[in-house]
Structure formats: C-alpha cells, structure tokens
Chains A and B, each alone.
Chain A
C-alpha cells in the first residue's frame, strides 16, 4: 500500500467547498443564463439575443469601449507613476518613511468615500480644483458633467487611489534586489541611469508584472468609484460593463445582466490571460 502523504487532501476540502460552490459554479452557470430571458422565477431560452442587444444598443456597447479605455489608461498610468514614486521613496531622501505612509493612505479609504470626496472637489462652480486652477489663471470646467472629460476625470481619481498599492509592490520589488549587485555595478563605475536600466529595472520585472496585471484586471472590473462619482453618466459617457450589469439587474433584465458578465470574461480571456503569458515569458527570457 502506498504510504499516506502528510500533505493530506483533507487540508484542501474546506477551501474547495467554499470556493467551488460560491465562486466557480456561479461562473459556470453564467454561460447558460446569458443565453436566456431570466428572472429568478423562471427562464426561457433566447439564444444569443442578449449579446446582440449588447452590441446594437448604443447605451450598452459604448460601455465596452469605456471599459477598455478605463482599464488600459488606469493601468498604464499606475505602472509608470508608481514606479517613479517607488524609486524616489527608496532613494536616500530623509522624509521617505513619512512620504511612504502618505502615499499609502488613500488605500485605507474606501472607493465609495474617495468617489464622494472627489465629486465635491471637482464641483464645477465651488470645487477646490477649479478654484485652484482659477488662481493659476486656467479656466476650470465641469469635469464630471462634461461628456468629453467625465471618464478621464474618474480615471484620474482611480489612479490617485490605486497608486498606493502599486507603489508598495514596487518598493517591495526594489528592496528585494540583492544590494551586492548594486554595489558591484557602482564599483564598475555605473552611473545612475545605467544602474536603473541594467539592474533595477530588469530585476523589478516580477513586481512590474504584478502591478500591470493587478491594475489591468482591477480596471476591467471597476464599479464602486464610477458608481459613486457619476453613476455612469452624463448620458452613458462613463458607463462600463460593471455598471451596466448593475443597471440591467436593477431593471430586472437578469439575462442581459449576466450576458454583461460573460462579456467581461471574454475580455479577460482575450486580454489578461495572453498578457500574463507574455509577461511571464519576458520575465524568463
């Protein structure tokens, strides 16, 4: 008889029961219900009708584009800015401990609280941003009420909040670099830029990949902030898939709402999985 392993499968059972029943099974079911007209009392099969509606109704398909813009912009900005901040905060400056806490602080405040606060700060007539710009002689605008700026304003606030966790990951990445590499490079006469390019940057790849993926996926799923700041408006200018899912649910179109969920899966399958593979490959090679 085979000797029993100390790493008993029983250790996995509690996790698997909770995770599979409450997370995996609903996902599996969603593919079916996205093809139906559904209320909790009953359902009727309607083929790909829900998806057709999604791609023909302007109020719905604009959300797909917005989700892309939102995810890519927030992710890109977070990666670049938080890397620079992390470099700055791991340098020899004296106030770095204090500044690290300050940068981390927004992470403690909930998205919904951040959203409501910035709604006040961005207020077109009274908000402090426009008053500050006024002092500098720049005309402010109705950041959240104007179709052309609403989405980008929410993106800006998302980046403001999301920098904290990205910066922590980069700081952890930079700190875990063996200092002997850096010292050796310095002895060889490397200047700051060479040090950054040939040592810090490549050795931070794992941290960078984590930040890219986490923020991109977070962006694709984003709901709280948009809901608190604009509710998807003005018009449908800031509607993303997650807010459409909620709106269709509130309106009683459960099948359509679930189709939104499935579209989100498709996006993740098309973007996030290949990106992860690509990043892992780049990390190794």
Chain B
C-alpha cells in the first residue's frame, strides 16, 4: 500500500512539472507581457514586468473608436442569439429524430449527421446569403452559426434522449397532453444536463470563431471579438503588450463560463455522446 502511495506521489510531481512547462508557462507568458510597456514586451521575455501597465487594457478597449466594444457587443449578440436558437431548434429536432422511425426519419438523420463531417461551402453560402438578403447582417450570421452547429447539437440531444424512458410520454398523453405541451412540460426539463453541455460547447465555439465571421460578416462595424485580434495584429504589430492584453480580455468571458460549468462538461459527455 505504501509503495502505491509513493507511485502516485511521483505521478503527481511529474504531472505538475509537465503541466507547468507545457500549459502554464504559455499563459503566464501572455499575462506578464500584457502588463509590460511596449519596449519591454517586444523583447518577448518570460519575466515579470518591471512596472505594471494596466492602462494597456484601457488602450486596447478604446483603440480605433472603441472597435473593441462594438465587437464585444456583436460577439455577445451572436453567441447568445445562436446558442438560444440552437437549444430550441435542436432539442425539438433531436427528440423527434430519436423517437420516430421510418424512411423519412433515416434520411433526415443521415442529412444531419453528414454535417458532422462536411465542411461549409464558403462562396456558395455567401451567394445564398446575398439571395436571401442576409449577407453582412448579424441576423444572417446568427442563423449561419445555428446551421453549422446543428449536427453536433442534435447528436448530443439524440444520444441523451435514448436514456429517457418512453413510458413518461405515454402517461402524459393519456392525461390529454398535446404534443407540444408534452415536449415543453415533460421532455425539455429532463434534457437539462445535456442542454448545459450544449450551451457551453456552442458558446465557446461561436465566441471563438474566426473563420466564419471573416467570410460572412465583413466590415468593421460588424467586427467580432476574434477579428479585433487580427486587426490589432496589423495595427500594433510592433507592440506585443497590446496584442497580449487583447488575448487576455477576449478569453475572460469564456473563462468565467468555464468556471461556472466546469463539471457539467464531462458529466454531459458521459451521459450523452459517448454512449451514443
């Protein structure tokens, strides 16, 4: 028994050391350099700042006519909007896809699951967006993010639905519940654990998305938070302190979300996706 304890202790030490070098140093590097003055930050050294420059953060926020604040607003609308629609639309669809059988349902299931693999057709999408007059609009971008994240969300809902007994629905139906009432009052509340997982997974992906807004939401008034980094990299190419300050503030919202939902991520995955 004692030998085991020593083995685990050695494991702890090795784990912490490797994690420190591989994962923690890069993050300390970002934070330290975001607080340095330009000259010191450009040396790209791993060291504590000589003097603390919290004003870097204010400068990043106010640069280019408050581009950051506009982008933050856009990103938040985009993230919240698409996550809400995803949850509503995919929970309903995942429920019916899991419960109903038949040729049409297998076709729908195939269509949705192929989306897990197939990448977005970029220029034709722009063309379609122009056709429905949604190109370069936040509404259009929200609907696109919904479309792109539908397959994974449905897969998770469908997987979770498999563990909910059908008897519940039958009892409710005998009591005279309508199909919609049944879903809203009985099924949706039961889906709560997997809904949390879906909220955090999609929120992180949409908030951190760079490529899709780059293509489908061009224009500085439409800038999202990830694009600010790209803009600042051009503008502040010789001031790494600003770039790193931007990295820190654009990561903070996701960090907060993570601290709230930490445990739920693994729980939801155990319950849903892996058992399929």
Contact = CB atoms under 8 A, between A and B. Distances in A.
B266 A173 contact: no
B19 A99 contact: yes
A111 B210 contact: yes
A117 B12 contact: no
A33 interface: yes
A99 B125 CA distance: 41
A117 B89 CA distance: 37
Contact of B147 (A22, A176, A217): A22
Query: A interface, how many residues as a size bin?
Result: 35 or more
Contact of A127 (B44, B128, B204): B44
Contacts of A265: 118-119
A193 interface: no
Nearest to A105: B23
Given A30-B124, A128-B29, A176-B270, A11 B258 contact: no
B22 interface: yes
Contacts of A33: 123-124, 127
Nearest to B127: A40
Interface in B80-98: 85, 88-90, 92-93, 95-97
A261 interface: yes
Given A93-B12, A95-B15, A224 B29 contact: no
29 contacts: A7-B99, A7-B179, A11-B92, A11-B93, A15-B90, A29-B124, A29-B128, A33-B123, A40-B130, A92-B8, A99-B16, A105-B258, A108-B208, A109-B254, A110-B250, A112-B208, A113-B250, A116-B229, A116-B247, A117-B247, A128-B46, A213-B117, A228-B210, A242-B119, A242-B211, A249-B215, A257-B123, A261-B123, A272-B117
Given A27-B118, A110-B210, 9 more contacts: A6-B173, A40-B126, A99-B16, A103-B23, A108-B251, A112-B229, A116-B247, A261-B121, A261-B124
